[in-house]
């Protein structure tokens, strides 16, 4: 490991960045350096601009990945190289505003039914029942299930924050049956290797395969179940600030996008055209021939005095 990479890692550890973020940011800076075949501390504004053009036009990277690369480079130049003036050469891309994919309740049931492995099916149910991220589901411990208070403790979620979410009575019953079969002692969903939990990539691939088997045409991932959790709660009348707390969102703006997805009120709102049609149908309609004759007939002459 080069001294520069080691220093960047230490800078992020000091600021308590998560191991996942550290790996991702180091990888992004390394990819930037590889593209030019030079150490990143020898690359300047022209290189940054060229690399951003490459990501968009040649690599066709998503805006999410593009901005992830920008975040990594901004941190590297500002924190590790102490070059604050470089930040102006690292603009973020404007991410298109898209709505998250949401399954209907029937599609969620079909997804569960199409998952062949019992423990994976229960993990899907756990994600949907509590709005958990895939990494939060896979890293649940047995002690995180509080049966007395009917709560699930989520340890160090995104932003390294703990939170509590509800424990579904239905899920608790299913987990009880699963515990009798698997006898977990540490991780709630242990992996094949002793002392390890199931990989979130493995679970996500299994979720996609189950969606395909269920004949669901929408693009589905484990994160889709989190979107379903928020949207279905909103449609059932739960206020948005409660949903924000359950999801662990720092900003209400992040949660508010689900108000655009929820279409229960949209379906129940009458169209003004329907209102017009109702009024028109309530009145007797003249025959078209009568209307035409009335319009074309000459006016009768007035009687002479």
Task: Specify the CATH number for the domain of residue 52.
Answer: 1.10.150.130
Catalytic, 197? Answer no
Catalytic, 82? Answer no
Instruction: Please check whether residues 122 and 67 belong to one and the same domain.
Output: no
Catalytic residue among 5, 89, 208, 223: 223
Catalytic, 139? Answer no
User: First-to-last CA distance in the chain?
Assistant: 116
Instruction: Please check whether residues 128 and 222 belong to one and the same domain.
Output: yes
- 62, 89, 116 - which closes a domain: 89
Instruction: Please check whether residues 165 and 230 belong to one and the same domain.
Output: yes
Instruction: Please check whether residues 234 and 122 belong to one and the same domain.
Output: yes
Evaluate whether residue 58 is within a structural domain: yes
Token duo for residue 27: 């990888």
Residue 222's pLDDT is: 94
Catalytic, 77? Answer no
Evaluate whether residue 123 is within a structural domain: yes
Judged against a pLDDT cut of 80, whether residue 150 lies above it is answered with yes
Say which CATH number the domain at 116 has: 1.10.443.10
Instruction: Please check whether residues 198 and 167 belong to one and the same domain.
Output: yes
Stated pTM of the model: 0.66
Evaluate whether residue 115 is within a structural domain: yes
- 261, 277, 298 - which closes a domain: 261
| pLDDT (average), residues 245-256 | 84
226 vs 290, which has greater pLDDT? Answer: 226
Q: Which residues contact 38 (CB under 8 A, 6 or more apart)?
A: none
Bridge-based pairing of strands 145-146 and 161-166 is unpaired
Residue 267's pLDDT is: 66
Question: What is the spatial distance between Cα 198 and Cα 228, in angstroms, rounded to a whole number?
Answer: 23
Number of domains present in the structure of the chain: 2
Encode pLDDT of 207-221 as tens digits.
999 999 999 999 999
Catalytic, 249? Answer yes
Beta bridge partners of 197: 190
Whole domain around residue 219: which residue ranges? 105-261
The enclosing H or E element of 151 equals strand 151-157
Residue 295's pLDDT is: 47
Which pLDDT band, with edges at 50, 70 and 90, does 34 fall under?
very high
Catalytic residue among 121, 226, 227, 232: 226
Catalytic residue among 59, 83, 153, 158: 158
CA 231 centroid distance within chain:
11
301 vs 39, which has greater pLDDT? Answer: 39
Question: Crossing angle for the helix pair 222-235 and 200-213, nearest 10 degrees?
Answer: 70
Residue 301's pLDDT is: 52
Question: What is the spatial distance between Cα 63 and Cα 94, in angstroms, rounded to a whole number?
Answer: 8
| pLDDT (average), residues 267-278 | 68
Instruction: Please check whether residues 110 and 78 belong to one and the same domain.
Output: no
DSSP state at residue 148: T
Catalytic, 133? Answer yes
Which pLDDT band, with edges at 50, 70 and 90, does 227 fall under?
very high
Catalytic residue among 74, 121, 133, 139: 133
Evaluate whether residue 248 is within a structural domain: yes
Evaluate whether residue 163 is within a structural domain: yes
């Amino acid at each position: 490991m080069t001294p520069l990479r080691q220093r960047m890692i230490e800078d992020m550890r000091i600021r308590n960045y998560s191991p996942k973020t550290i790996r991702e940011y180091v990888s992004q800076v390394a990819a930037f350096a590889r593209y030019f075949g030079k150490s990143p501390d020898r690359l300047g504004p022209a290189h940054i601009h060229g690399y951003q053009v490459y990501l968009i036009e040649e690599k066709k990277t998503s805006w999410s990945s593009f901005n992830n690369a920008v975040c990594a480079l901004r941190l590297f130049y500002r924190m590790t190289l102490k070059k604050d003036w470089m930040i102006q050469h690292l603009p973020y891309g404007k991410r298109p505003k898209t709505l998250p994919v949401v399954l209907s309740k029937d599609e969620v049931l079909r997804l569960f039914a199409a998952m062949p492995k019992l423990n994976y099916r229960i993990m899907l149910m756990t994600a949907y029942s509590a709005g958990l991220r895939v990494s939060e589901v896979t890293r649940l411990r047995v002690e995180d299930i509080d049966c007395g208070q009917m709560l699930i403790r989520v340890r160090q979620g995104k932003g390294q924050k703990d939170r509590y979410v509800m424990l579904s009575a239905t899920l608790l019953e299913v987990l009880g049956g699963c515990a009798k079969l698997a006898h977990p002692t540490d991780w709630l969903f242990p992996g094949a290797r002793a002392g390890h939990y199931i990989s979130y990539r493995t679970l996500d691939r299994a979720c996609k395969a189950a969606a395909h088997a269920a004949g669901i045409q929408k693009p589905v991932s484990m994160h889709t179940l989190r979107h379903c959790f928020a949207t279905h709660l909103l449609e059932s009348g739960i206020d948005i600030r409660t949903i924000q707390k359950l999801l662990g969102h720092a900003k209400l703006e992040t949660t508010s996008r689900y108000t655009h997805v929820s279409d229960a009120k949209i379906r129940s709102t009458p169209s003004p055209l329907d209102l017009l049609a109702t009024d028109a149908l309530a009145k007797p309609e003249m025959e078209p021939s009568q209307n035409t004759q009335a319009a074309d007939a000459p006016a009768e002459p007035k009687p002479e005095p």
